[in-house]
Chains A and B, each alone.
Chain A
Amino acid sequence: MKRFIFPLGVFVILLGFLGIGLRLNPHEIPSPFIGKAAPAFNLSQLHDSAKTISPQDMRGKVWLLNVWASWCGSCREEHPVLMNFSRQNIVPMVGLDYKDTRVDAQKQLIEEGNPYQLSAFDEDGRVGIDYGVYGVPETFVIDKAGVIRYKYIGPVTPEVLAKKLLPLIRELNRV
């Protein structure tokens, strides 16, 4: 009479998946760039429109790319954390100012401090799209060969820094 157990069996398997599902976040979109080369770009710098910046400039170093905007509230939340982090001088951080105006962005960096070694100005958001950005802030960890190793979505907290970003950065720096 095995077939009478069949519905129960199917249900138990389903239950297992639903249980695992409770721990997952269906809204979070994983980045398809993990393990792939950081998409190339050549943007003008935020503070000096005559100069440009590209990921090539950071070759040979492990670095962070932080996508932010002056109109974004969560970015303001993570700003102090980034400021603290930049003072520790562990890795260079490049800011990608997404769909913003130079005036507003520069003003915010003056008022709240500038944690970035360099800032790129992505006025129309094209580079953001190339990186698969769908909401600010987002932070990428890129290794010495220019390969994206990790993407964190949302404001960076001290916990995220300690548990997710720093260990990876240390490992990448050892190579």
Chain B
Amino acid sequence: MIPELGNVALMLAFALAIIQGVLPIAGSFNGNRRWMALARPAAAGQFFFVSLAFGVLVYSFIANDFSVAYVEANSNSMLPLYYRIAGTWGGHEGSLLLWVEMLTVWMFAVAMLSRQLPRETVARVLGIMGLIGVGLMAFMLFTSNPFDRLLPGAADGRDLNPLLQDFGMIIHPPLLYMGYVGFSVAFAFALAALMGGQLDAAWARWSRPWTLMAWMFLTLGIFVGSFWAYYELGWGGWWFWDAVENASFMPWLVGTALIHSLAVTEKRGSFKNWTVLLAIIAFSLSLLGTFLVRSGVLTSVHAFATDPRRGLFILILLAIVIGGALTLYAWRAPQVGLGGRFNLISRESLLLVNNVLLLVCAATVLLGTLYPLFLDALGVGKISVGPPYFEAVFVPLMVPVLFLMAPGLFMRWKESSIRQIAQRLKWVALASVLTGLTAALAMSTSVMVALGLILALWILLATATHLAQRLGHYAAGTPIGKRLSSLTLSYWGMLVAHLGIGIFVVGVTLVKGLETSNDVSMRLGDTTSIGGYEVRMTDLQQVKGPNYVAAQGTFVVTRGTQIIAILKPEKRVFTVQQMPMTDAAIDRGFTRDLYISLGDAISDSAWAVRVQCKPFVSWIWSGSIIIALGGLLAASDRRYRLALKKNRQNVPTSVDVNSFIVAE
């Protein structure tokens, strides 16, 4: 009975989505106020009904209702409660419902936080989001309904995939989807602007915080995924250039280009066409990702069980949404004029270079991901494109992006001088090169490591220098506290995000250059060494978990006479799916992670064990979190919150003088 409630709620939401998708946009063109006014309540209604449906599905999992086919396929009565809840999005249908739920969350947020926007804009933005919702809800209701019943109900379920029975499963998909779906807001703003023919700085100011928040969620989502793979999969890798990972990385790259481009459009009124196109591309890549995971077109460890009929449906959805958006772009963009003038050497130019580079990066990832499909479709044969390719092409592309992050800070709007910037950065350059080379020599590593370190230091020191310079602008005698607090959050956001990238680059460079591993056969009492530590196996026993049995080894890690850590990796076999899984034990540290995983049993008393030392890997995680924090700070800037406080007034659509005064 209750699952039927969920089904009905979805159908009601679908009906509301159709209303929201059609009437407000039509109303924005023929001036029908009542139709336009439907947008907000329709969004609220959808949020209510989809959340209700979502709640019903979660309840079905908690209550072990195995008459719902989806619950039977993804859960089990022995599954702990928190994983039963996470199982809601463990399969195709449920994760689709999560996607739609996120869409209604963003829709509702836009509806609530858009009082200062003109009526037509709100109508169009919500209308477009509504149309996207129509497409996805249709997909769900007609091909992938999570509430399909299994009658008679099964006695018990097939259990959630053991690889997903982890804390990561609880937060990774929601964060990721918040990001993916969040780009639909920028997308909707872009299309609304094209429809209205009004593409200006005010539009950029409205879009920017939404885009920053979506980008922040996507950054966190990708980070959690990577972090999870690192400890879950047992061999210490954290990025595999897998098709689905790439599908999340591409929107992130384009999203980064977008937030920079929006900055220019907001402050200078330039790049309008370009920014709109980027907004369309970012969300299109999100949708493309959805297609790739669920259509069976590419092999991936993340792919859901597929059905060509579903693949076709999403493809048609893709054609309509993206095709429609790009057609609108082709039709209306030419009418949008040029922006403000700027010199060849200026911040605008440099940001354009940044955009081109990031877009080429994203296009390269797309090329590599789809190339096997491309060749197969042409009947040329089957090839594989994997990490060796991506690493070979991606690193050279990223080097200029990272390099330009330093001069970019010091470039002025409209007009700048290379000599001046070189002047400011010469000490930074010297310090980075010297420190980088020295460190690399001290650790006796490769040229690549040296290069990576130099770049990271270049970014970190340049960012610090810029902050110091900015702080120095105040009247002598102003206390440091006051100087710091009068810097805008937007500026802090930029600083922090750039710092995060520098830290991230240090982590990646050093892990790749310095990691070591040892595959040994160990019996009780045996020792091995790694990274200057001694590891000794002191125990091996069987432990029982809620829905698995495991062999657990106890390893004592020492340096000299001091005990550093006691690690207990496990090899689990899950009762229902009979799948073995490695649970690695990690001793995390600021300068290194010690990573121990059990392989297979070699004999009754000996086990294959892999011990690894991964220097500075935690800098990858902290760097990512700091980048996301930067996004949050920038999105929270005063000028966006001030705009919210304004009552139902139409903000003048010409460039607002205040936007020039904001310190940047």
Q: Is there direct touching of A and B in the complex, by C-beta distance under 8 Å?
A: yes
Residues of A within 8 A of B (CB): 1, 4-5, 7-8, 11-12, 14-15, 17-24, 26-30
The residue from A7, A23, A26, A30 contacting B299, defined by CB atoms under 8 A apart: A26
A11-B326 in contact given A18-B291, A30-B381 (Cβ < 8 Å): yes
Residues of B within 8 Å of A7, CB to CB, are: 277, 280-281, 326, 329-330
Sample of 17 more A-B contacts, CB < 8 Å, known A8-B330, A15-B319, A26-B372: A1-B330, A4-B334, A7-B326, A11-B322, A11-B326, A12-B323, A15-B315, A17-B374, A18-B318, A20-B377, A21-B297, A22-B297, A22-B308, A24-B377, A26-B376, A27-B299, A28-B382
Q: Can you list, as one digit per residue, whether each of B263-305 has a CB less than 8 Å from chain A (1) or not (0)?
A: 0000000000100010011001000000100011111000000
Cα(A126)–Cα(B284), bound, Å: 47
- Distance in Å: Cβ of B316 to nearest Cβ of chain A: 10
Residues of B within 8 A of A29 (CB): 382
In the bound complex, CA of A175 to CA of B281 (Å)? 56
Q: How far is the CA of A75 from the CA of B566 in the complex (A)?
A: 47
User: B315, B327, B334: which contacts A8 (Cβ < 8 A)?
Assistant: B327
Partner of B334, one of A1, A11, A14, A22: A1
CA distance A31 to B372 in the complex (A): 16
Chain B residue nearest to A10 (CB atoms) is B326
Which of the listed residues A1, A7, A15, A23 has the most CB atoms from chain B within 10 Å of its own CB?
A: A7
Contact B330 A22 (CB under 8 A): no
Given A4-B333, A26-B299, are A21 and B376 also a contact pair (CB < 8 Å)?
yes
Asked if A8 and B377 make an inter-chain contact with CB atoms under 8 angstroms apart, the answer reads no
Interface flag for B311 (CB, 8 Å): yes
Provide the main secondary structure of the chain B interface: helix
Interface secondary structure of A, over-half rule: helix
The residue of chain A having its C-beta at the shortest distance from the C-beta of B310 within the complex is A22
12 residue pairs from A and B, CB less than 8 Å apart: A4-B330, A4-B334, A7-B329, A8-B323, A8-B327, A8-B330, A19-B315, A21-B376, A21-B377, A22-B315, A26-B297, A29-B382
- Cα–Cα distance between A22 and B297 once the two chains are bound (Å): 6
The answer to whether B312 has its CB under 8 Å from any CB of chain A is: yes
- Which 3 interchain pairs have the tightest Cβ spacing? A8-B326, A20-B377, A21-B297
When chains A and B are docked, how far (Å) is the Cα of A29 from the Cα of B376? 11
Is the beta-carbon distance between B374 and A15 smaller than 8 angstroms? no
B608 at the interface (CB under 8 A from A): no
Interface membership of B373, Cβ < 8 A: yes
Does residue B520 face the partner (Cβ distance < 8 Å to A)?
no
Q: Are B334 and A26 in contact (CB under 8 A)?
A: no
- In the bound complex, residues from chain A placing their C-beta under 8 Å from that of B297 are 18, 21-22, 24, 26
Contacts A8-B326, A15-B319; A22 near B312 (Cβ below 8 A): yes
| Contact call A8/B329, Cβ cutoff below 8 A | yes
With the chains together, A37 CA to B645 CA distance in Å?
A: 78
A30–B298 CA distance with the chains assembled, in angstroms:
16
Cα–Cα, bound, A20→B311 (Å): 11
Other-chain residue from B295, B296, B330 in contact with A5 (beta carbon distance below 8 A): B330
Distance from A6 Cβ to chain B, minimum over Cβ atoms (Å): 8
Question: Given the complex of chains A and B, what is the CA–CA distance between A28 and B323 in angstroms?
Answer: 31
Residues of A within 8 Å of B318, CB to CB, are: 15, 18
Q: Which residues of chain B come closer than 8 Å to A5, judged between CB atoms? A: 330
Docked pose: A7 CA to B370 CA in angstroms: 17
Asked if B322 contacts A21 (CB within 8 A), the reply is no
Within 8 A of A (CB), among B301-347: 308, 311-312, 315, 318-319, 322-323, 326-327, 329-331, 333-334
Decide if B377 touches A17 in the complex (CB within 8 Å): yes
CB neighbours of B376 from chain A (8 A): 21, 24, 26
Contacting residues, chain B, for A1 (C-beta < 8 A): 330, 334
Encoded as 1 (CB less than 8 Å from any A CB) or 0, chain B from 366 to 379 comes to 00001011101100
A27 to B296, CA, bound (A): 10
Q: Which of A8, A18, A24 has the most CB of B within 10 A?
A: A18
Which residues of A sit under 8 angstroms from B319, Cβ to Cβ? 15
Report yes or no: B381 in contact with A26, Cβ–Cβ below 8 A: no
Chain A residues positioned under 8 Å from B329 (CB to CB): 4, 7-8
- Size bracket, chain B contacts: 20 to 34
Known: A24-B373, A26-B372, A30-B381. A15 touches B323 (CB 8 A): yes
Which B residue's beta carbon lies closest to that of A18?
Answer: B315
Residue of A nearest to B334 (CB): A1
Q: Which residue of B lies closest to A16 (CB)?
A: B377
Q: How far apart are A74's CB and chain B's nearest CB, in angstroms? A: 19
Separation in Å of the A153 CB from the closest CB of chain B?
12
List the A side residues contacting B334 at CB < 8 Å: 1, 4
B373/A26 in contact, CB under 8 A: yes
A103 to B387, CA, bound (A): 43
Cα distance A107–B381 in the bound complex, in angstroms:
40
Provide the residues of chain B in CB contact with A11, threshold 8 Å.
Answer: 284, 322-323, 326
Q: Name the B residues within 8 Å of A22 (CB-CB).
A: 295-297, 308, 311-312, 315
Residues of A within 8 A of B299 (CB): 26-27
Q: Which residues of chain A are within 8 angstroms of B308 by Cβ–Cβ distance?
A: 22-23
**Quick one: which of B280, B312, B377 has the most chain A CB within 10 A?**
B377
Question: Smallest CB–CB gap between A21 and chain B, Å?
Answer: 4
* A19 cross-chain contacts in B, Cβ below 8 A: 315
Q: Which residues of B contact A15 (CB under 8 A)?
A: 315, 318-319, 323
When chains A and B are docked, how far (Å) is the Cα of A27 from the Cα of B374? 15
Q: Which residue of B lies closest to A22 (CB)?
A: B311
Contacts of B331 in A (CB 8 A): 4
- State the Cβ distance, B405 to closest chain A Cβ, in Å: 27
- A131 to chain B minimum Cβ distance, whole angstroms, is 17
- What's the nearest-Cβ distance from chain B to residue A132, in Å? 12
Write out the residue numbers on chain B whose beta carbons fall within 8 Å of the beta carbon of A18.
Answer: 291, 295, 297, 315, 318, 373
Q: Which residues of B contact A20 (CB under 8 A)?
A: 377
Q: Which residues of A contact B381 (CB under 8 A)?
A: 30
User: In whole angstroms, what is the CA distance A142 to B408 when docked?
Assistant: 65
Name the distance in Å between A95's Cβ and chain B's nearest Cβ: 28
The residue on B at minimum CB distance from A27 is B299
Specify which of A17, A27, A28 is in contact with B373 (CB 8 Å cutoff).
A17
Nearest CB in chain B to that of A23: its residue: B308
Q: Which B102-147 residues have a C-beta within 8 angstroms of A?
A: none
Chain B 351-375 residues near chain A, CB threshold 8 A: 370, 372-374
Could you tell me the distance between the alpha carbons of A21 and B370 in the complex, rounded to whole angstroms? 10
CB distance from A82 to the nearest CB of B (A): 28
What's the nearest-Cβ distance from chain B to residue A17, in Å? 5
- In Å, the complex CA distance between A19 and B318 comes to 11
The one of A4, A14, A30 in contact with B382, judged by C-beta atoms closer than 8 angstroms, is A30
B328: min CB distance to chain A, Å: 10
Quote the shortest CB–CB distance from A66 to chain B (angstroms): 23
A28 CA to B295 CA in the complex, in Å?
16
Q: Taking CB as reference atom, which chain A residue is nearest B370?
A: A17
In the bound complex, how far is the Cα of B315 from the Cα of A11, in angstroms? 12
A20 to B297, CA, bound (A): 9
Flag if A21 contacts B330 (CB, 8 Å).
no
Cα of A4 to Cα of B330 in the assembled complex, Å = 5
A28: chain B residues within 8 A (beta carbon): 382
Q: How far is the CB of A33 from chain B (nearest CB, A)?
A: 13
A24 partner residues in chain B, CB cutoff 8 A: 297, 373, 376-377
Q: Report the minimal beta-carbon distance from A23 to chain B, rounded to whole angstroms.
A: 8
Interface string of B407-433 (1 = CB under 8 A from A): 000000000000000000000000000
In chain A, what residue has the closest Cβ to B376?
A: A24
A contact residues around B280 at 8 Å (CB)? 7
A30 to B373, CA, bound (A): 14
Residues of A with C-beta under 8 A to B273: 4
Give A26's nearest chain B residue, CB to CB.
B299
Question: In whole Å, how far is A55's beta carbon from the nearest beta carbon of chain B?
Answer: 25
